[in-house]
A and B are shown apart, each in its own frame.
Chain A
Amino acid sequence: MSIQQAQTKAIHDAEANNSASKAWHINNRNDRDEPLSDLVMHELDKKYKVTETVFIAPFVIQSIAKLGMVDTKVVTDQEGDVHAEFMEPQDVLSSLLTWADDYSYRWSLHSALQVVESMKKKRELKSLRSLIKTKFGTPDKDELLSFINCITKREV
């Protein structure tokens, strides 16, 4: 499945999930005979709007945490292990918003990381590394290779 398809699916899933939650709230209010005013509906729409967090997949969260792009103190245990799986996409997004104001920046980051994830799944990291070696100059090449190693290395 291509990244675009995966992302479209993620958006659809999030929309479905959100609409189900919204419907549950509306039904709940109806059951209690509470009126559904415009304001209430507006609030519900706002609450269950599909946001950018749907792009922040677990791999993206882990990568961002490994690259040190988010404060991981809250999910670091006593032995110094970072448990990125406990991080919320909303937290990651809030952290990114502090330095990547532009949406296109964040979009690029998510996309790049998702592409790396997809290549990892397809076991094409070797060809990715060779591409980096051929297409990039020395400082960028080393940097990129170390990033790729960092985010794709298997945790023991």
Chain B
Amino acid sequence: MSEGISNESSSQKELEEPESAAENGAKTERMLTVFDSPSEFFKRLVPMELWGFTLNEDPVSRMMESMKGTIKNWQPSDKMQYKMPDLKDKDTKMLRLIWNSRGSIESIPINLREVAKLTRKTTFAHFKKMLNKGRSMFLECRLLNPTLLESALKYEMIRAFKATESGPGLEEARKKHNKKKWNSLTTALSAKKKAKKTATTTTTSSRATTLSAGGTKKKVSDRANQSLSRDSIVRVDASSLVNATINNSVSVASKGRARAPAKDSTNTGQISNEESEESSLDDDDMLLDNLTAPVAKQPGRALGIKNNLLNTKTNSIANSSSWADDDNSGSEEEIEKENELSVVQSPKKKRSRKIKEIKHADLFATLKQDTADRFPPIKSNDSTNGFDPPGIAWKSGAVRLLHVLVRLLSQIKESSALGGRLDVHSTGPNKSNP
């Protein structure tokens, strides 16, 4: 039994190996003959393929393997500083052999032989140059498409440059393509950074809110107390306050903002009469900051009180009562608002993104979702190239879609049979499995 299996496998090998060798040979010959095509892009791509044949492995994966460190450390800010190092002579021995033996092409069609004659004008040095250019293009493509699979790089390049013909045209297209990709990369990166920033701020704010959650009531009551104390400050005679502020000591001012925020009216009593009037403006500010420290977080309010005080200072005969009343009423309202805001707005709610308008029906949306059991069949990573079975919900959705389509098909047939406008003679393929 085992002998039979081994025989089978050996014969299979026999079948496969010469086939692949023959295929490679035929491909090589054809590539050599069509190397001298007018397309510059093709000229760069062909040597890569040939180089891959000589290596007997995927040239792209080999290149990427050798440039692993560069690719890993590359940042979009680096732009295109990197170039593939040129291949050494010892690396291209086999390629040179192929190139030199291109005159002995036999299995190619007659019409291609003429082309093969033309390629003889090209030296191997030029061919190698083309190869290096091609390799650099692949590296660029790899750097600018970090999420793309290595196997898809070639297709990406073909997609981008297939329309180009001459060398300058290719260079122009390459520059455009690189710029476009680079822009998209940088924007994606900045968006990512922004998202990260917002995420960290959200977490810190949420942490702050959780820390202060227990003390919210306390905060409100504290603020109420502060407002009361401030009222008491405000009700002090304006002139005395002016004097006090004018004579505010540097020590008090220097302690300034670092001092504990809640200050009661006794602080005014501590103010000494040591400093001159010249420094009064700054000191006033400092003092006011001290006095209104808990309120100072709201710049408008603090500014309003400051302005009031300054007005009082310049017009020594100030109407203290009206001023006090105004401030009192204003502060109460503001404090109420503030309290409301602090309760309602303190954990800044992030605006939920607007959900994009889905143009398709629910099932289509369901099919697109990759969550839970709604994922589509995904290509397995093993060598079998098979697909993993989809999720149950996805499968039921897909089957439903299929049934609807079948119904549609039968309706179309019916309509065409009845002589409707739909003239579809379709009966589909033979129902027997081909």
What 1/0 mask marks residues of chain A from 53 to 70 whose CB sits below 8 Å from any chain B CB?
A: 011000000000001111
Residue of B nearest to A55 (CB): B429
Report A-chain residues with C-beta under 8 Å of the C-beta of B159.
77, 83
What 1/0 mask marks residues of chain B from 379 to 409 whose CB sits below 8 Å from any chain A CB?
A: 1000001111110001100110110111111
Q: Knowing A98-B387, A108-B405, say if A146 contacts B364 (CB, 8 Å).
A: yes
Main secondary structure of the interface of B (DSSP, over half): helix
Q: Indicate if the CB atoms of A115 and B409 lie closer than 8 Å.
A: yes
Number of A-B contacts defined by CB within 8 Å: 192
Quote the shortest CB–CB distance from B28 to chain A (angstroms). 15
Considering the complex, which residues of chain B in the window 340-356 have a beta carbon less than 8 Å from any beta carbon of chain A?
none
Is A16 engaged at the interface, CB distance under 8 Å to the other chain? no
Is A91 engaged at the interface, CB distance under 8 Å to the other chain? yes
What 1/0 mask marks residues of chain B from 358 to 388 whose CB sits below 8 Å from any chain A CB?
A: 0111111001100000001111000001111
**C-alpha gap A114/B181 in the complex (Å):** 36
**C-alpha gap A62/B395 in the complex (Å):** 19
What 1/0 mask marks residues of chain A from 123 to 139 whose CB sits below 8 Å from any chain B CB?
A: 01001100110011000
Report A-chain residues with C-beta under 8 Å of the C-beta of B428.
3-4, 7, 107-108, 110-111, 114
Q: Chain A: how many interface residues by the 8 Å CB criterion?
A: 69
Residue of A nearest to B386 (CB): A94
Is A112 engaged at the interface, CB distance under 8 Å to the other chain? yes
Interface residues on B, range: 35 or more
Contacts A95-B387, A98-B377 given; 11 further ones with Cβ under 8 A?
A: A4-B428, A40-B15, A67-B364, A75-B152, A79-B184, A111-B429, A114-B428, A122-B423, A124-B421, A128-B422, A143-B362
27 contacts between A and B (CB under 8 A): A2-B424, A4-B425, A4-B427, A4-B428, A7-B428, A25-B19, A52-B434, A55-B429, A69-B376, A69-B401, A71-B376, A71-B387, A73-B379, A74-B152, A78-B184, A86-B152, A94-B386, A99-B389, A99-B394, A111-B409, A111-B428, A143-B363, A143-B404, A147-B360, A149-B359, A149-B360, A150-B364
Interface residues of B (CB under 8 A from A): 8, 11-12, 14-15, 18-19, 22, 144-149, 151-152, 155-156, 159, 181, 184-185, 359-364, 367-368, 376-379, 385-390, 394-395, 398-399, 401-402, 404-409, 411-412, 415, 420-429, 431, 433-434
